[in-house]
Every structure is written in C-alpha cells, then in structure tokens.
Amino acid sequence: MSTESRLLPVVAITGSSIMVGCGGYSGGSCGSYGSYGSYGTYGAYGAPGAAASGTPMHHAARARAAHAASASYPGCYPPSVGADGIYEGTLTDQATQQVTPVVAIIADNGDGRMSGQDGTYYRLSVATSGTTVSGSFSGYSQGVSFPNGRQSTAGSLSAQITPAGMGGSLTDQAGNTEALALTFDNTYSLQSMLPTLAGTWNYSAGGFSLTATINADGTFSATDSNTCSYTGSFGLVDSNFNAYSEDYIRSCNGSSLVFTGLASYFPAIGNAAAQIKMLADDKAGDYLVADFK
C-alpha cells in the first residue's frame, strides 16, 4: 500500500435499503482497497517485480514462488502464476458501456467473491493454467439488473494474469459480456493468522449496524440492528496469504440461513484503522459485504 487516504463513502440502493460502503485504503502503483458492496435482504448494508527474463510478475506469484521454490530457483521465480489475490477494478457492460467499480477476494483454492459499487454481488470459481484463468460465476442483486435484465445471473469467466493484476470477461448464459479489469493489492501478501482477527469489530452504514466478537481460534458471534444473530467461524485457506474462509448461520425471527464466503484483514495505516472486509452469501441471493473496524 503506498498511500493512506480514505475512499469516500459509497452509497448504493438494494431493494428498499440504502447502503453506504464505509471507505477503505487507497493505493497507487500497489493497487487499492475499496469498500463496495451491499447487505442483501436484511440490511443497509502491486508494484510489479521482475522475473529472470525481465517480465514483470504478479505479486501473489512472486510471494508464492519466494516461499515455495527459492531453494530450487535461486535468483529467479518459476513461471506459474495464480489468480488468487485481493483486487480492485471495474466491470464494463459491453452493450451499454456502463462501468461498475468492483472489489474482489480470490483465495488460493480458486474460491472467490466480488462486489460491485452498484450493489451487485458475485460468487467466483476459478482455475489457473500458466497465466490463463477460466471458471464460472453466479451473481445476485437486490436492486439493479444484470445485463440479462434480471436480478440473478450465471455464466463463465475467462481472463489473463497481467503484471498489474488480471483482465478478462464475464459472459452470461445468454451471451451478454462484461469486461473485467482488476488491479492486485499488495495486502494479499500478508500472512493469515486467526489470532489477528480477534477482538470486537463494528460495521455501520445507512442505519444498519453489526457488531461481531471474534475469538483467537476464529470462532465468532454477532448481532445486528435488525435483531438477527450470527454464529460461525473464520478459517485459514493458505497461511501464506491474506484470505480467510468464513461460514456462519444467521438467525432472524425464527428462521436461519447458512452463509459462506471470504474475508481479508487490513492493518492500521496512519490514521486509518484496521479493518476486516468480509463477503459472504447463502448461495441463493442473500449476501453480506461489510467493512469491520
């Protein structure tokens, strides 16, 4: 992260709720961290290095190579590059040229989540071969429509790893295409450790609030301003990288839903407080994107 400025709040409307993304860290050449997202039904809501050949490598690839293969590749890095990382970028509807800022977390196991400034939300499943990325996506919205004219979508993802991040497209089952341009955030190269998340964290936006207590083993409980309760846990995907798995049960008015997702930790920098960004959904259209402080 190269700067310490805070992003302006992001306001989106999903259904009858108004949601405000509470800011984040902004970076220069090292990428940036945003706070776009939404709270489904219930709420308001790097600098490239160089390989031996002189070709810049993705930050996650450099970190993984340095960790896993430094003994075998003295002075250089193997060519394998992963799509995993923390990203900020844009989705551009190729028919209307509408541009939507997005943030994404993709874990080392290919599981990913992405949220749009307009309140859209995506589940991603990706695989990497060399610098080529392929996979699938499902999208949900409580407000705006996807290019297919609906509030749900699904299709395929194709992309290429670039020195700065990843570029490609999402194509839905009707053939509608959105161009994807993502910039890698160096924060992903931090190690993940469950005690790092421990403490009491709060999220508040647009009249909605959520308070979570996370234990050193990753288990947590939470309550929100809609009298819903949460119980669940965070887990490690790969301790070398800053992406945590998460799963929890949300109970409201006698009914419960199971959510799964991803989270990343952002340490305090200057006047910017430490944050945990989490993106989770129930696989059926209800989702939560929150910045805990």
- Does residue 237 carry a pLDDT above 90? yes
| CA-only gyration radius of the chain, Å | 18
Helices assigned H by DSSP within 28-138:
59-69
Q: 138: pLDDT confidence band, cut at 50, 70 and 90?
A: very high
Instruction: Give backbone dihedrals phi and psi of 194, rounded to 5 degrees, phi first.
Output: -60, -40
Mean pLDDT of 182-208: 96
Q: What is the pLDDT of residue 246?
A: 98
- Pairwise CA distance, residues 54 & 50, whole Å: 5
Between CA 178 and CA 247 the distance in angstroms is 29
Residues paired with 200 in a beta bridge: 213
Closest CA to 155 of 180, 131, 129: 180
Amino acid at 272: A
Residue 200 burial (10 A CB sphere; 0-12, 13-18, 19+) = exposed
Position 117 pLDDT exceeds 80: yes
Give the pTM: 0.79
58 vs 167, higher pLDDT: 167
Calculate the average pLDDT of the chain. 80
Compute how many other C-beta atoms are within 10 angstroms of the C-beta atom of residue 108: 18
Give percent of the chain above pLDDT 90.
72
18 has a pLDDT exceeding 60: no
Q: What is the model's pLDDT at position 48?
A: 31
Q: In this predicted structure, what is the pLDDT of residue 81?
A: 62
User: Is pLDDT at 274 greater than 80 in this prediction?
Assistant: yes
Q: Are 11 and 31 in contact (CB under 8 A)?
A: no
Class of residue 73 by CB neighbours under 10 A (exposed 0-12, middle 13-18, buried 19+): middle
Q: Is the pLDDT of residue 15 over 80?
A: no
CA-closest candidate to residue 104, choices 133, 84, 129: 84
What pLDDT is recorded for position 230?
Answer: 98
Residue 5's pLDDT band (cuts 50, 70, 90): very low
Rounded Cα gap, residues 102 and 81, in angstroms:
22
Higher pLDDT, 70 or 199: 199
- Average pLDDT (90-95) is 97
Higher-confidence position of 111 and 66: 111
